[in-house]
Structure 1
Amino acid sequence: MSHSSRAAGLAALLAVSACSPTFNWRELRLDGTPLQALLPCKPESATRAVPLAGTPTQLHMHSCEAGGLRFAVAWADVGDVAQVPVALAAWRSASLQAIRVVPPPVDDPTTQWGVTVAGAPAAQGVSAQGQDPQGQPVQTRAAYFAQGTQVYQAAVYGAKLSDEAVDGFFAGLRLSGP
């Protein structure tokens, strides 16, 4: 996506959401990565060690809530490009297990969702329904993608997803060159 078409898309998104105080879109640049994202709220940040594909990995997450939805962008460096596919599959599975989609149908066509991320050679989208930790229904749409040894997840969670908010969030993801 060219700079001018990205700017036009951002302008259109801002114009549509200008009347909505619920979503206050802002650009987020993730330190240490080539990823930029648009979030509809001021994110909180956290880093924690997680077992990703059996290896302790530092996971960096930025998330916020707006309009009854949780928006999250996370990344980790797996250190070896050969581990990227394994790490992405493990991450998708763990995310589905977290919302109690059992068994997690990682490659099930009913959970696949067509998504693209500007600058990413490939992205796998997941769309699923499950339960949050309190047992309440939750929906998610998530994208998993990589560049080099860095793996990423961008996701929206909520009781009922808004297509406008979901589309704006995923349209705002962009990886710059390697």
Structure 2
Amino acid sequence: MLLPVLAGVRRACRSLPRVAGPAVLALCACSPTFNWRELRPEGTPLLALMPCKPESAVRPVPLGGAPTELHMHSCDTGGLTFAVAWADVGEQARVPEALARWRVATLASMRVDPALAGAPQTQWSAPVPGAERAQGLVAGGTGHDGRAVQARALYFARGAQVYQAAVYGPALPDAVVSIFFDGLRLP
């Protein structure tokens, strides 16, 4: 199902002018740095594109006010971290609170005032086909290593399952970020 997206990426890469600078070419999705592949996390209908082979982990987190099993898939390439995570919060009524708490936790992890979770400057939107709700977050802060970090994350849900797709790095190239978020589907 994601083959049309990948085909579009390849066409875009081939259509770059030969005079394009090395930085533009290095960011191109068809570079070996970004080896896009389909991810289908077990236990969910989610389809995602990851630019590298993700590692997986499961851990309990207090999402939505109750201990919840969080499934994570992430990888690092090109100086960026790409992550897809999901959890089942049990009831649709718990989804709004879980998504709101997740956004706040993301900001807190970047040493950004969690009160900015609803501020206009942290908002962006991207559709996720099949999602019943989706809300984006864009922020700049400090990573666990003390270095400046930019983040773009999308929080979405269908039924009682909540999701986060995020990219973190010192700078977020629009072309790569677009491919990552455009690859999300809940068929």
3-state DSSP class of the match of 1:105?
A: helix
Between the two proteins, what is the percent identity of the paired residues? 60
Q: Could you tell me which residue of structure 1 aligns to residue 9 of structure 2?
A: 13
Greater gyration radius:
2
Q: Does the C-alpha gap of structure 1 residues 19 and 9 become closer, same or farther in structure 2, counting only changes over 3 Å?
A: closer
CA distance in 2, matches of 1:172, 1:71: 13
Instruction: Give the C-alpha shift of residue 10 in structure 1.
Output: 2.1
**Which ranges in structure 2 are unaligned for 5 or more consecutive residues?**
14-27
Which deviates further from its counterpart, 113-122 or 22-31? 113-122
SS of the aligned residue for 2:153 comes to strand
Letter of the 2:173 counterpart: S
Matches within 5 A, 1:140-155: 140-155=151-166
Q: Which amino acid is the alignment partner of residue 132 of structure 1?
A: G
**Does structure 1 residue 43 correspond to structure 2 residue 27?**
no
Q: Shift of the alpha carbon at 1:121?
A: 2.5
- Is 1:114–1:125's contact at 8 Å kept on the other side of the alignment? yes
* 2:10–2:30 CA contact under 8 A, matched in 1: no
Is the alpha carbon distance of 1:18 and 1:49 closer, same or farther for their aligned partners in structure 2, counting shifts above 3 Å?
closer
What is the CA deviation profile of residues 17-39 of structure 1, one whole-angstrom value per residue up to 9, with x for unaligned ones? 46511100000001110100000
Q: Is the 8 A contact 2:29 2:36 kept in 1?
A: no
SS of equivalent to 2:38? strand
Structure 1 counterpart of 2:144: 133
Unaligned runs of 5+ residues in structure 1 are none
Q: State yes or no: 1:27 paired with 2:10.
A: no
The residue type paired with residue 63 of structure 2 is L
Distance in 2, Cα, partners of 1:84 & 1:120: 12
In 1, Cα distance between the equivalents of 2:121 and 2:137?
Answer: 9
More strand by share: 1
Q: TM-score, normalised by structure 2?
A: 0.88
1:160 is the counterpart of 2:171: yes
Give the secondary structure class of the aligned counterpart of 1:175: coil
SS in 2 for 1:31: coil
Aligned counterpart, 2:125:
114
Map 1:57-68 to 2 at 5 A.
57-68=68-79
Tell me, in whole angstroms, the C-alpha distance in 2 between the residues paired with 1:149 and 1:137.
34
Match of 2:118, SS state, is coil
Across the aligned residues of Structure 1 and Structure 2, the Cα RMSD in angstroms comes to: 1.3
Q: How many residues matched?
A: 172
Counterpart of 1:116, as a letter, is P
SS at match of 2:178: helix
2: CA distance, partners of 1:30 / 1:156: 18
Q: Which amino acid aligns with 2:45?
A: P
Give CA-to-partner distance per residue, 1:78-101, whole Å, 9 cap, x none: 001100000000001001100111
Return 117-126 or 8-17, whichever deviates more.
8-17
Compute the TM-score of the two structures, normalised by the length of structure 1.
0.92
Counterpart Cα distance in 1 of 2:65 and 2:174? 35
**For 2:85, what is the secondary structure of its paired residue?**
strand
